[in-house]
Structure 1
Amino acid sequence: MIEVLVVDDDTRVARVNAAYVDRVPGFRVAGLAHSAEGALRRMEAPPRPDLVLLDHHLPDDTGLAVVQEMHRRGLQIDVIMVTAARDLTTVRAALRQGVLQYLVKPFSFAGLRDKLEGYADLRRALDRGGTAEQSEVDLIFGSPTAGAVPGPPPGHSPPTAELVRRALLNAEDSLSAQEVAAETGLSRQTAQRYLKILERSGKAVLTLRYGDAGRPEHRYAWAARG
């Protein structure tokens, strides 16, 4: 279970974001904080969070100042900025300070869910250990390899799209959403959503397989082989 600290100066927004987090399988809210000082204090208290959803505009300091202080204290906690700050100076500074993702307010549940699912994919890739091929390095750094799914729709995760692409590309036969989910570790719903994106973009081919129950099973195969 991935423990998440939600930091926002607006208590109502913090509660909404926390409710969103609790709706995503594999994630759990570890706590809420409404200031920079409160966020840092909570990060050092057990159980320590794995991930922080961090607002930039806090009453006593900025979110980026919190990230800097985390580094100074040696806190190994990942950060996704969740903020209305959209100026490129702030975005660039967040990138340079190691913030993993940046989600601009206002956003929907689907937008946050896909950021979290992309983060979970990243953790799985890193936790496998051993050595990595270039495609796996690109997955970790969030840039799909050549031939990967270009430009997923806004709110969708390139690492997740790449996982689904690789599952189809490596399969000897067409796969159902359930089989893709088992292969990638994604939920069936997530696998189905990305398979539909691939099929609509012409990257995957949809076929129907009829069984005894009468209702056809949707199966997908990678279209761009060779």
Structure 2
Amino acid sequence: MITVAVVDDDRMLLDGMRSWLRDVPGLRVAAVAATVDELLARWDRPTAVVLLDLVLRDDSTPAANIHRLCATGSRVLVISTVPDRARILAALAAGADGYLTKDNDLPTLVAAIEGIALRGAAHSPELAFACAHDDRPDRPRLSPRELQVLLDYASGLTLKSAARRAGITPNTAKDYLDRVKAKYQRAGRPTYTKTDLAHRVREDGLEHEPGHGRGHGRGHGPGPSRGTG
């Protein structure tokens, strides 16, 4: 059973979301609230997935709300009215595990919730667009093969296993990882170890790249840690 909490200051949306998800097998809406403060005051247990409205009317910031929810051990799916690229990337950088606009249908929402709860990331057109057009100067441009090896290796595979998946030798896979590290270092983001690589994957939302879904745990091991208006 996947427990879900909803944070939104639109009462009609809260009631609608509770009704919408009530009969979905395997999901249970455990709490709803108008603010993160309210949710944390009423619900002190980690929730598998929190659906978080991006912009709330209590003057809280999206990044602070995401950080606070992630600190409880919950995963965060940001819900917004607009697919703004800068907002999507900022939400991912703050720790959100997914981003959906409010015009998506129930199957898409359920798939995103399940993806985050079971695999650590949700894929959506909004995320694919934002990641594909991420032109921030501190984000290196990686080739498809560099990205593939990075994601496999950072997800917890050994270098030999990552090389096997890519159809290359371990030495070639190591060369790709060395190139990735060098690109990050030139961008002013020192990257030396497997844990560093996993952090870069998480920071840049690379696990959301189309065709590169991986299952990641939060907070332990070499994989990336764990993410409206």
Contact map agreement 1:144 1:159 (CA 8 A) in 2: no
Aligned position for 1:113: 110
Q: Distance between the aligned counterparts of 1:97 and 1:31, measured in 2?
A: 23
Structure number with larger C-alpha Rg: 1
1:53 aligns with 2:119: no
Report the CA distance shift for 1:87/1:121 in structure 2 as closer, same or farther (over 3 A). same
Q: TM-score, normalised by structure 1?
A: 0.51
Aligned position for 2:175: none
Per-residue CA distance 1:82-130 (angstroms, 9 max, x = gap): 111432221111111121110012222122122123224416xxxxxxx
Describe the SS at the equivalent of 2:86. helix
Q: Distance between the aligned counterparts of 2:11 and 2:63, measured in 1?
A: 20
Aligned position for 1:29: 29
Name the Cα RMSD after superposition: 3.3
Contact map agreement 2:2 2:48 (CA 8 A) in 1: yes
1:65 aligns with 2:64: yes
Q: How many angstroms does 1:143 deviate by?
A: 4.7
1:10 aligns with 2:32: no
Report the CA distance shift for 1:13/1:91 in structure 2 as closer, same or farther (over 3 A). same
Q: TM-score, normalised by structure 2?
A: 0.50
Q: Distance between the aligned counterparts of 1:121 and 1:76, measured in 2?
A: 14
Q: How many angstroms does 1:14 deviate by?
A: 1.1
Aligned position for 2:96: 99
Query: Which consecutive segments of 4 or more residues in structure 1 shift more than 4 A?
Result: 131-135, 142-145
Report the CA distance shift for 1:34/1:159 in structure 2 as closer, same or farther (over 3 A). same
Question: 1:87 is matched by which residue type in structure 2?
Answer: D
Contact map agreement 1:83 1:105 (CA 8 A) in 2: yes
Report the CA distance shift for 1:23/1:30 in structure 2 as closer, same or farther (over 3 A). same
Residue correspondences, number: 138
Describe the SS at the equivalent of 2:18. helix
1:141 aligns with 2:207: yes
Aligned position for 2:38: 38
Contact map agreement 2:8 2:53 (CA 8 A) in 1: yes
Q: Distance between the aligned counterparts of 1:75 and 1:35, measured in 2?
A: 15
Relative contact order higher in (CA < 8 Å, ≥ 6 apart): 2
Q: Distance between the aligned counterparts of 1:53 and 1:70, measured in 2?
A: 10
Q: How many angstroms does 1:15 deviate by?
A: 1.6
Q: Which has the higher strand share?
A: 1
Q: Distance between the aligned counterparts of 1:90 and 1:42, measured in 2?
A: 28
Aligned position for 1:81: 78
